[in-house]
Amino acid sequence: MKRIGFFYGLLFCLVLSVAAQEKVVKLKIVETSDVHGNYYPYNFITRHEWKGSLARIYSFVQKEREQYKENLILLDNGDILQGQPTAYYYNYIDTVSPHLCSEMMNYMKYDAGNMGNHDVETGRAVFDRWIATCDFPVLGANIIDTSTGKPHLAPYKVLERDGVKIVVLGMITPAIPAWLSENLWKGLRFDDMEETARKWMKIIHEKENPDVVIGLFHAGQEAFKMSGKYNENASLNVAKNVPGFDIVLMGHDHARECKKVMNVAGDSVLIIDPASNGIVLSNIDVTLKLKDGKVQSKDIKGELTETETYGISEDFMKYFAPQYEAVQKFVSKKIGTFTESISTRPAFFGPSAFIDLIHTLQLDITGADISFAAPLSFDAEIKKGDVFVSDMFNLYKYENMLYVMTLSGKEIKDFLEMSYYMWTNRMKSPEDHLLWFKEKPREGAEDRASFWNFSFNFDSASGIIYTVDVTKPQGEKITITSMADGSPFRMDKIYKVALNSYRGNGGGELLTKGSGIPQEKLKDRIIFSTDKDLRFYLMNYIEKKGKMDPKALNQWKFVPEKWTVPAARRDYEYLFRSVQ
């Protein structure tokens, strides 16, 4: 009996020893991306309730933390500082109070953030102030301080949970110089994502010996060369070509994605993208089996979770009620009156009061000869009657500066040739589409889903009279007959052109690929720039005028009209049938 007792005692100790050596750790990874100022479940532009928002995301996080506690890791992937008036107000209007974005992210207990291109667009005074007040690191391994050659921000964050070491490496799309004026990011440069990932993956493995590596990349997955040198949307390339990542969290392209890919080492990598506005979030479960403190296996599952079903956090709304009221007061200020309602819908099919109002304001503000502008919102409307600050975010979506650049007549024509090439289908029969549509839109890409190219690159011109022949190839579409005042338009003459800073810095490549101006020469063409964003000047202009009578200027048209007029009616119905 003593022997049997000894045997069972020994067996019991052995079981305890094995149990002590083996362990299962469950982690919950939550990613938000491209929130674009949607902090509250209310759209301050349209004055309606909103199904996205940090308030809804926090409701989900609160529920999940009941189970996962500290093992829930909350990450943001950039473009959180721009979009809704909530962000604008604390970026530029109230710069004394703590920034609402950092206050909310601290309240939600984010573990790390990442820089997005629209965060950089706010300017260093804004994004440096925001970063300084965040209780967590905002990452940027490929954002380099040119004076030191070192990252301006922390390249990665180490998190330890239940004996598991997790490393989060943050990077931004490097194409910032092709979109944004250098004064917004002075003293910085943006390195290639794949080269940067290779460098830091080696350092991370040698220095940190991680169990899980997460890429937090503000870039989409359909890579292409921007302006011939910036590898835009390289997240999928990094996931496949740089071994070591378990998860790559994407953003920037506003397109939902959740799938596994195999990297060059034969390992599986989860890539996931929650699109935009906090409507969905990336919801990832990681289960690790450890033995003697070492990971034996990893099981990673991801899904995109709708935030609407989790409701709104009452705690969140109560805590941030004063800031809500401050923003509501800001957007409710009347600035003028419109005699007619205007919408971006007609802007895809010809001259429109909406775009021509922007043209008129740009020309009046700058005194330029010609204006370029595009429909920045897919389906925006400002109703006739009283116009408020909130309407200005419909009129002009982004915080671009207003530039005046010098362009020759030929460069203006070539610019428009590329714009309308990206915009229109080349019609071969009266039954063809007028606009260039995708055959199969990507889910969750919102207004970007229908067109083959981004509609914020569909620039028209004002100040000249011209036609666009949609039966002709690029290079032969545009016929400019005269200036708007009837004087001759000359290909060899230098004109002053008003346009936004995104376009003036090379955004959309209309000036580089279209007009043929080298990227590095664009800044030499800029002869004037506003010191504040274009929306600020539009607001001031309308407030000064008081009453606006927006009309289509009818300075251009699609031809042949016997084809394009019926095609426009068909395409209008096709494009807007789901948003009627």
CB atoms within 10 A of CB 332: 12
User: Model pTM?
Assistant: 0.89
- CATH classification (class only), 31-327: alpha beta
| pLDDT for position 1 | 55
- How do residues 253-301 score in pLDDT, each as one tens digit? 999 999 999 999 999 999 999 999 999 999 999 999 999 989 999 999 9
| pLDDT for position 227 | 75
Boundaries of every domain in the chain: 31-327, 333-579
| pLDDT for position 33 | 98
The percent helix, strand, coil of the chain (3-state, each to 5) is 35, 30, 35
Q: What is the dihedral of CA 107, 111, 114, 120, to 10 degrees?
A: 30
Tell me if 31-327 shares its fold with 333-579.
no
| pLDDT for position 165 | 97
CA distance 186 to 199: 24
Degrees to nearest 5, angle at CA 373 with 434 and 228: 85
| pLDDT for position 442 | 53
Of 164, 160, 205, the residue nearest 288 (C-alpha): 164
**Looking at the domain 333-579, which fold is it?**
5'-nucleotidase;  domain 2 (3.90.780)
Q: What is the dihedral of CA 494, 499, 500, 506, to 10 degrees?
A: -50
In the predicted model, residues of the chain with pLDDT beneath 70 are 1-20, 440-449, 578-580
| pLDDT for position 9 | 53
Of 164, 189, 130, the residue nearest 23 (C-alpha): 164
Strands 402-408 vs 526-529: parallel, antiparallel or unpaired: antiparallel
| pLDDT for position 448 | 47
Of 13, 123, 58, the residue nearest 307 (C-alpha): 58
DSSP state at residue 2: H
| pLDDT for position 51 | 87
